[in-house]
Amino acid sequence: MEILNIVSVIIQIVLFVALIFVIVSLTKYLKLLMAKVDVLEDDFNKFKTRVDPLIDDSRALIQKINKISDKVDDNFKYVTLTIEKIKDTVEDIVELKERIVRKAEPPIFDTINAFAAIVKGVKTFSDTIKRSRPVKRHYSEEDDNLLFDNNGDSEFELEKQYDDINKELNEVRKKLEEMKKV
């Protein structure tokens, strides 16, 4: 039994030595692990010090973007209201123009028609007077073409004035018709 005790003590000593060896090995591994954790912690702290300003800048940038977006929204609302006011003003102006044209058009046409009738009446009257005069015999062929005597340029001036008045009336009529189209 003694041998058994001795063997048992030797086994216990070997186990204690193995246990001490395992504890020493684990301690070394634990120290290595702790050193790596410390390095990782230092790296993380360095990364954090580099990232913190970026995060702060990003926050500031996001705030500025939000302010700009709010200002754009406000300005868009202002522009929209301005466009609506302009649209209403343009509609009022168009309506006013239409009312003016509706009210002014009949009297203008009546005046033009009356003026044209007067011009036609005067022209007809002058044509009738020209025809009712006796035809004078002149010595030259040029004198035969004259409606009145050689001294009277008043006939030519009257016709020129009638033609000018007719031209003006036609221009006014054209402008009024253009105004109707608009």
Domain boundaries, the chain: 45-181
Q: What are phi and psi of 131, to 5 degrees?
A: -75, -30
Nearest residue to 162 via CA among 133, 137, 134, 125: 125
- Structural tokens at position 22: 């395992």
Q: Is the dihedral of CA 144, 147, 149, 154 positive or negative?
A: negative
**pLDDT of amino acid 33:** 95
- Structural tokens at position 28: 């070394």
Which residue bears the tokens 């044509």? 127
**pLDDT of amino acid 43:** 93
- Structural tokens at position 118: 């007067």
Burial (CB count <10 Å: 0-12, 13-18, 19+), residue 94 = exposed
Residue by residue, pLDDT tens for the chain (182 residues) are: 788 899 999 999 999 999 999 999 999 999 999 999 999 999 999 999 988 888 999 999 999 999 999 999 888 888 999 999 999 999 999 998 888 888 888 888 888 888 888 888 888 887 777 777 655 544 455 555 444 454 555 566 667 777 778 788 888 878 877 777 76
Nearest residue to 171 via CA among 133, 99, 115: 115
Nearest residue to 115 via CA among 160, 154, 166: 166
